[in-house]
Structure 1
Amino acid sequence: MSSKIYTVWGGKHSGKTTFVVSLACALSKSDKLVGLISSNLTYGELQTFFGQSVPEEKGIFEALSEKSPNIGERFSEYTESKNLFFLSVPTSYTGMLSENVTLEETEQLINAASLVFDILIIDGAAEINNPVSGVGLWLSNAIFTLHRPSIAAQMWYRCVSDFMRELHITEKQKHILLAPNGEFDTKTYQDMMQLPFPYELPYIKSAGELENAGTPLYFASDRPCRRYGRVTEQIAGKICGGGKT
């Protein structure tokens, strides 16, 4: 049986990867086998967040060219969880391989991975021309769209509105608000967007420091991170429980 596919999406600096890594960690605590695919085809963000390297014989470019059905072997196992595997660019590679990635190859990859994992998560990109992100949005059962309140976030959402209509993904989105640390009034942003925000994540001052140390926020122990983790667990619980997210 194929997995449920979820994509985490949003504009630049919206906290997508921070959230997607924490969500994957929360989901991996269950008995579900979780696969996480990065849409970043030039830099291995997930490697930094997990504090691990990806060897050349693994990674997304090898997975895209994989002809056998054993696509799971191209994923790297997260050492802190036997249920969590991630697919990223290798730590070092030569050539601009990202320019050769096609939509057809990406669709085949995601469909093949969905047969391996119980839950498949795509770390989406702000750019609408990213093939991994675009196919992930199209194939997803639900999309978690992150908003860090700002004029730039509002402009991004308006700019991708035509893309959302063409891909018929507007109804699949669950909007998540990130606390802006006083940089922008949350209520003003909500009034501007006129969107439902069923979830709100707290601002984490130490996020960059923790991520550079290879520690997902979900495993950090300070109070703000525990609050962040509780929201993440709430979403993970609804995903695993099959209820409405």
Structure 2
Amino acid sequence: MGSKILAVWGGKHSGKTTFAVNLACALSKRNVLVGLISSNLTYGELQTFFGQTVPPKKGLFEALGAENPNTGEMFTACGESKNLFFLSAPTRYSGLLSDTVTLEEAERMLNAVSLVFDVLIVDTSAEVNNPVSGVGLWLADTVFTLHRPSIAAQMWYIAVSDFIRELHLEEKQTHILLSPNGEFDEKTYRHMTGLAFAYELPHIRRAAELENAGTPLYFFRDRSCKRYGKVLEQIAGRIGGGKP
């Protein structure tokens, strides 16, 4: 495989898709060719973040099809950056294709796509039975695991402990803490999990508003987004080197 493969993981509402999208944006500004894949098999959420659409003849299920010789053509170019392409379920998705996806198809697709991009980011699922997510975690060089402090987040991490052990993920994990918005004490969460967090991301009050408007946080330059962007620059610098 030719590219670095990064998986972004976490429980529900952990901010993993927000992080995956904006890390991809940060890396693309370093003259790195970036592919971003959503493992969501029922809803095309990446196009919402970018304010774009994915036509029926492109997207995740076309890329998973074994008869397709050029998987890279199934990606959609991001309008904000010439170096960023994303793969998601089509905008007008219909049918039950998600029930037919196999681990073999997911592995074939990810191996093929890894030859196209310098960096491949897989936005994985909180559920361990998702085939694209599972293969992405297995093939990843680094697994960025996001934590939004809560009892639910701690319970999710305990629940996936056997999965982490079986796939030998612990040595690949980089834990990232999202600053809580007053709903849960950060120190308590650190004590409960006993984890070491390599990075901390600020809480962005307007995140949902901006994302629904198709504006990645990395490209929005208010104070809180700039703070979020600085952390992403640190991470992107370690992955891709160079300067934005």
**Normalised TM-score (structure 2):** 0.97
SS of corresponding position for 1:27: helix
Structure 1 partner of 2:215: 215
Is the CA contact 1:33–1:84 (under 8 Å) kept in the aligned structure 2?
A: yes
Is the CA contact 2:33–2:83 (under 8 Å) kept in the aligned structure 1?
A: yes
Is the CA contact 1:69–1:112 (under 8 Å) kept in the aligned structure 2?
A: no
Pick which of 205-214 and 65-74 moved more: 65-74
Matches within 5 A, 1:49-128: 49-128=49-128
Structure 2 residue runs without a partner (length 5+) = none
CA shift at 1:67, angstroms?
Answer: 3.0
Give the counterpart letter for 1:199 in structure 2: Y
Offset from partner CA, 1:93-129 (integer Å, 9 cap, x none): 3211000000000000000000000000000110000
Matches within 5 A, 1:139-218: 139-218=139-218
Structure 1 partner of 2:24: 24
Is the CA contact 2:66–2:105 (under 8 Å) kept in the aligned structure 1?
A: no
Is the CA contact 2:179–2:203 (under 8 Å) kept in the aligned structure 1?
A: yes
Is the CA contact 1:77–1:86 (under 8 Å) kept in the aligned structure 2?
A: yes
Structure 1 CA distance for aligned equivalents of residues 208 and 24 of structure 2: 18
SS of corresponding position for 2:146: strand
1:45 has 2:66 as partner: no
Give the counterpart letter for 2:137 in structure 1: L
Give the counterpart letter for 2:10 in structure 1: G
SS of corresponding position for 1:134: helix
Structure 2 CA distance for aligned equivalents of residues 206 and 95 of structure 1: 34
CA shift at 1:221, angstroms?
Answer: 1.1
Structure 1 residue runs without a partner (length 5+) = none
CA shift at 1:170, angstroms?
Answer: 1.0
**Normalised TM-score (structure 1):** 0.97
Amino-acid identity (%):
72
SS of corresponding position for 1:195: coil
Is the CA contact 2:30–2:241 (under 8 Å) kept in the aligned structure 1?
A: no
Count matched residues: 242
CA shift at 1:68, angstroms?
Answer: 4.4
SS of corresponding position for 1:146: strand
